[in-house]
Amino acid sequence: MPINAAGELYAALRNKEPDLVVEAKAELELHRPIVLDYPVRVTGGRFKVQDGPAFVIAASGVTLDSCTIIGGRDENDSYSSAQKLIHATGTQERPLAGITVRGCRLWRSRADNVWLEWCVDSLVTNNVITEYLYSGVMGVSANRVVVSGNVIRDAPLSDGVVNTYGIAFTDLDNTEQARSRDCSAVGNQVSLIDWEGIDTHGGDGISVVANTVVGCPRGIALVTGNETRHAAPTRCVVSANTVNGAGSRRPVREAIFLGGIPNVPANATITGNHMTGHQSAFGGLSYIDRPKTFIGDNNFPLLDWSAITMDGDYTADPANPPQYRIDGNTIWLRGNVIPKADGRRTVIGHLRNGHAWPGALMWLGESHGLDPAAGRGVVGVLGADSDNPGRVQMFAVEGTDTSPYPLSGSYQAL
């Protein structure tokens, strides 16, 4: 049904028309939200709203296609939590299904743009969302929601607001049942978000794949949240993303962050990402379920060559100091160690990064002193099942010389 004025639109909705095409060339100023409480498709139209939502979605099977929605920042450039330009809300008992937001242009929101709360099996795709004060796309207790192919840009911090997001998946009431699950952010262009480009707070099975994230202090975040939160991110995948901190308006931090909380560890697969321009490639990495986590085959390793802590019976060879490197589940060692004296020569040192600890004792191989008359030993790394996980040790030592002994080789941490 073609629509040419706001009154016609409200009348068509009262009549439960299933397919509305807004042909009005003039901007429709909304003084109350357009409530979509039955399955309907709204195509086209240019809408402006000073505060609060433009569309409230209260039914499954609603599609917004090619709509332009302008928020209230031009008249009042301050944060208002009431402004969610598209606000879809189900309940835990009756989630909304089949919500689609496609090809829309949303900008100048005083807070949020697309807000999907207790929504399942829904799609946000090919939209342009810019110049807002809190979130581009927010999934709250969402299940199987796909956010793909969107351009999301320019979310500054404003007075009283310490976080802004491009895409985020979180929960409504901080319970296991309310976690966002099996949602995906795929192929989006996210830039100039002054807190985190793409985020999940305690999501389960969140996939962040093939996005370009530019100019954000923290590019991609898999986090628990503040100290009141009870769920860590689990079963998440971060893969094939390009994350570039260049141009950030706030001090850059990490390209990708993963972290859990005490007794509630996080886990994820983070692989195939290209990261530049941040203070560090990875952040957090504490309270991690190591057997369920893989961080490897990115353009930066989980830990680049770092010094082995020499707190045992050997010293570092200054010409070739002992170091270790972690990528994925593989740990490499290199460099030389020198026995301190011709007596005890068992403990070499420690690998302080817990991601280097094997589950049980792992053998690196035999080491021969570099002098012709030097002795030999077998190098091993103690596992997480020991009282000294990560301790590098020489076993079956022969010889009393003080020549350099090489550490060379690799092992699997799991």
CATH of 303-412, one of 3.40.190.80, 3.60.20.10, 3.30.300.180, 2.60.40.1830: 2.60.40.1830
Q: How far is CA 412 from the centre of its chain?
A: 26
Walk along the chain (414 residues) and give the pLDDT tens digit of each residue: 788 788 888 889 999 999 989 887 789 999 999 999 999 999 999 999 999 999 999 999 999 999 999 999 999 999 999 999 999 999 999 999 999 999 999 999 999 999 999 999 999 999 999 999 999 999 999 999 999 999 999 999 999 899 999 999 999 988 899 999 999 999 999 999 999 999 999 999 999 999 999 999 999 999 997 667 789 999 999 999 999 999 999 999 999 999 998 888 999 999 999 999 999 999 999 899 999 999 999 999 999 999 999 999 999 999 999 999 999 999 999 999 999 986 789 999 999 999 999 999 999 999 999 999 899 999 999 999 999 999 999 999 998 899 999 999 999 997
Name the pTM for this structure: 0.94
Q: How far apart are CA 298 and CA 260, in angstroms?
A: 21
Cα dihedral across residues 69, 72, 77, 82: positive or negative: negative
DSSP letters for 243-278: EE-TT-SS---EEEEE--BTTB-B-EEEES-EEESS
Residues sharing a CB contact under 8 Å with residue 81, sequence separation 6 or more, in sequence order? 111, 134
**Spatial contact of 289 and 266, defined as CB atoms under 8 Å apart:** yes
The boundaries of every CATH 2.60.40.1830 domain in the chain are 303-412
User: Quick one: 396 exposed, middle or buried, by C-beta within 10 A (0-12, 13-18, 19+)?
Assistant: exposed
Residues sharing a CB contact under 8 Å with residue 318, sequence separation 6 or more, in sequence order? none
